[in-house]
Amino acid sequence: MSLYAIGDLHLHFQSELRAPGQLNNPAWENHEETLRQNCLKMIKPTDTLVLAGDHSWGKNLSLCEKDLEYICALPGRKILLRGNHDMFWDAKKTDALNERYKDRLFFLQNNFASYDTYALVGTKGFTFEGPFYMRQGRIVGWDTDAEEHAKKLVEREEERLEASFEAACRAGYSRFIMFLHYPPTNVLETSSPFTRLAEKYKAEQVIYAHCHGATRFHDSLTGRYRGVKYSLVSGDYLRWKPLKVL
């Protein structure tokens, strides 16, 4: 039994919409088939695959159905995290999604999933990515309105993450693997409310996605930091080969 993770599939079986970085970029060419083949080779039916957000470009659930069916057809148990592009997933209606895809997909939000002796906890997260303006490594400007708005989003996501940890604690779990869609810190930070929660609950690993393109792959923490192991699992970073977490 193994635990795998990958994020940012950005599927578009029912949508023409794609990010500029996805167009004419060899890393994204036929990525659905590359990932499917890698999963078939690596993942057994008894394994678990966590998909760390940004699943689909579809603007609502009916425009995501083929994308979610593609995910259903991947091997193993699939656990999904909410990404910033997942418009089909109303955070207040996670229970309805779990009911609709019962026994096929599990949507992780204000709840947790068990894996062996671990609780898999998580939320979308949020990272203030600016605008802050850098010149020759120095900050020369800052959007304070955007920063104020970001603080509110971080607080809300912090509450959701703590709800996930607490639900797992109430069920008797004390070993955690923590998942975020957004990176836990931005390029200027070494800690955040999310790293503090990881440390408070002694999460063994933090897995996150969202960072696309070589210039963004090192925006946040990777490797071991203050007792927690951090890993980026965006699909283009992993070249569509899921990371073995446990």
Binding range to Fe ion, per CB under 5 A, among 24-32, 65-73, 82-90, 189-197: 82-90
Site membership for Fe ion, residue 222 (CB under 5 A)? no
Q: Is 54 in the site for Fe ion (CB under 5 A)?
A: yes
- Cβ atoms of 9 and 55 closer than 8 Å: yes
Stretch that binds Fe ion, among 33-41, 49-57, 91-99, 103-111 (CB under 5 A): 49-57
Q: Which is nearer to Fe ion, 175 or 241 (CB)?
A: 241
For residues 36 and 33, what is the distance between their CA atoms, to the nearest angstrom?
A: 5
* Helix/strand/coil for 74: coil
Pairing verdict, β 228-232 and 223-225: antiparallel
Residue type, 21: G
Number of residues that bind Fe ion (CB under 5 A): 5
Nearest-CA neighbor of 8 among 244, 246, 235? 235
Q: Is 67 in the site for Fe ion (CB under 5 A)?
A: no
Cα Rg, the chain, nearest whole Å? 17
Which among 53, 72, 51, 49 is positioned nearest to 2, based on CA atoms? 49
Phi, psi of 121 (to 5 degrees): -120, 160
Q: How far is CA 230 from CA 135, 157, 221, in A?
A: 28, 19, 6
Task: Give the shortest CB-211-to-Fe ion separation in angstroms.
Answer: 8
* Residue count of the chain: 246
Q: Is residue 236 at the binding interface for Fe ion, with CB under 5 A as the rule?
A: no
Report, in Å, the least distance between residue 54 CB and Fe ion: 3
Q: For residues 109 and 201, which CB has a smaller minimum distance to Fe ion in the complex?
A: 109
3-state helix, strand, coil in the chain (%, to 5): 30, 25, 45
Q: How far is the CB of 143 from Fe ion (least distance, A)?
A: 19
Of residues 53 and 76, the one with the C-beta less far from Fe ion? 53
84 makes contact with Fe ion (CB under 5 A): yes
- In the list 77, 124, 210, 216, the residue contacting Fe ion (rule: CB under 5 A) is 210
Interface of this chain with Fe ion, residues 89 to 148, rule: CB under 5 A: none
With respect to Fe ion, which residue has the nearer C-beta, 11 or 39?
11
Indicate which single residue of 8, 47, 86, 157 sits in contact with Fe ion (rule: CB under 5 A).
8
Residue 160 or 210: the one with the smaller Cβ distance to Fe ion is 210
- Which of these ranges, 26-34, 83-91, 129-137, 190-198, lies near Fe ion under the rule CB under 5 A? 83-91
Q: Report the alpha-carbon distance of residue 193 to residue 244 in Å, rounded.
A: 26
Instruction: Report the phi/psi class of residue 10: left, alpha or beta, with left for phi > 0 and alpha for psi in -120 to 50.
Output: left
Token duo for residue 138: 């120095």
Name the residue number minimizing CB distance to Fe ion.
Answer: 54
Least distance in angstroms from the C-beta of 163 to Fe ion: 21
Site of interaction with Fe ion (CB under 5 A): 8, 54, 83-84, 210
